[in-house]
Structure 1
């Protein structure tokens, strides 16, 4: 991590999981581990520290040992609210850190070079933001965010009622970093029971 700016990692677990029938998708198990534990194991070595964004009772995530932060934007404002919560937490609790990287907490196959490549790309492109892409599919939730943009993000969410990540990132400039999507999409996330079965098969094939 010596050549990479200090970066706080946030695992976004604030979704409603409607297609999975509700509940906490990241706490479902594949290959004997929770999806969340797999995501933590992949991201932890790449970051200065990890936090978890989730709403409701934080005790259900106590086993992770992570600090749990909730959205403070009224209503269910989507992933941008979780990203804002992480930016605000970092500004207050880790003022020495200027960057936050976010991932969907139900992503069990995150790449080991995730943070390094995002930083490399945004520096080369001269943008304050970077997002992941696998093959032709972009994953705006899995991205790199500059802490100093938190004021503008709050304004966009609260005053402009902006919910779409792409609209906000386009305002500041974002670069996409492409990973191969074969044999496994590194940003695969299980949104349905069928995709959970697929994840189980994928992790079995990797072992």
Structure 2
């Protein structure tokens, strides 16, 4: 697989998904004929390595990615997934300077989201209409170096809290006509959300493809 610069990919798939009401982990719920996480993996095409932060890594063996458990006991939230990914990159891929982080339950992210986020000396965090999306970001791996201590010290476990501590740059992302309500960050949390996402994706699959224009 070719590499997009020195950027790795990390999908946060550790959410419990209790509101979905099923026995299958939310990232593996079928959406338009594929596991939901497969739609997010498409946004990382051309990137290597790709990591998946998951409660049960064994469930993700079918994907072309390395699944990682949290390094902390119990459910420590998405920051623990970031911590696990950063530790793996420092150990196994020290040439990766940045990591593009995406949630597993956001199947309508722009296909060029990684390029849109870009890279920089500070975390670059997606934003739409002035609303920050802390779970969609390009992180310098170095900025995650203090995360383990942050978690061990019992600091707030919200991504936004850590971003506020280390500093960040917002990156505007445009609305997506093909997403529910045009929201590219629409995340599937409930059965109703799943139905809405399914309807939108099926609508896209059924849309006719315009033939290429031929000049005379």
The two structures have a TM-score, normalised by structure 1, of 0.88
Larger mean Cα displacement after TM superposition, 31-40 or 180-189:
180-189
Q: 1:87 maps to which residue?
A: 86
Counterpart pick for 2:194 among 189, 193, 196: 196
- State how far apart, in whole Å, the 1-side matches of 2:62 and 2:134 are: 28
Alignment map for 1:53-202 (pairs within 5 Å)? 53-56=53-56, 58-119=57-118, 123=120, 127-183=121-177, 184=179, 185-202=183-200
Aligned residues: 199
Q: Shift in Å at residue 196 of structure 1? A: 0.1
CA distance in 1 between counterparts of 2:203 and 2:131 reads: 23
Q: Distance in 2 between matches of 1:38 and 1:59?
A: 19
Residues 133, 178 of structure 1: 8 Å contact kept: yes
CA deviations on 1:124-183 (whole Å, 9 max, x unpaired) are: xxx511111233432211111111133311111111432011111112211111222342
Contact 2:12 2:103 in 1 (8 A): yes
Q: Which segments of 5 or more consecutive residues in structure 2 lack a partner in the other structure?
A: 206-216
Give the C-alpha shift of residue 54 in structure 1: 0.5
The structure whose Rg is larger is 2
Higher mean displacement: 92-101 or 138-147:
138-147
Q: In the alignment, what sits opposite 2:213?
A: none
How far apart are residue 16 of structure 1 and its match? 0.8
Q: Distance in 2 between matches of 1:3 and 1:135?
A: 31
Q: 1:39 to 1:105 in 2, by over 3 A?
A: same
TM-score, normalised relative to structure 2: 0.84
Gaps of 5+ in 1: none
Q: Kindly provide the CA deviation profile for residues 51-96 of structure 1, in whole angstroms up to 9, marking residues without a partner as x.
A: 111013x222121132110111232111011011111111100011
Matched, 1:15 2:15: yes
Higher mean displacement: 77-86 or 167-176? 167-176
- Counterpart CA distance in 2 for 1:64 and 1:150 is 25
**Aligned partner of residue 63 in structure 1, secondary structure:** coil
Root-mean-square deviation over aligned CA pairs? 2.0
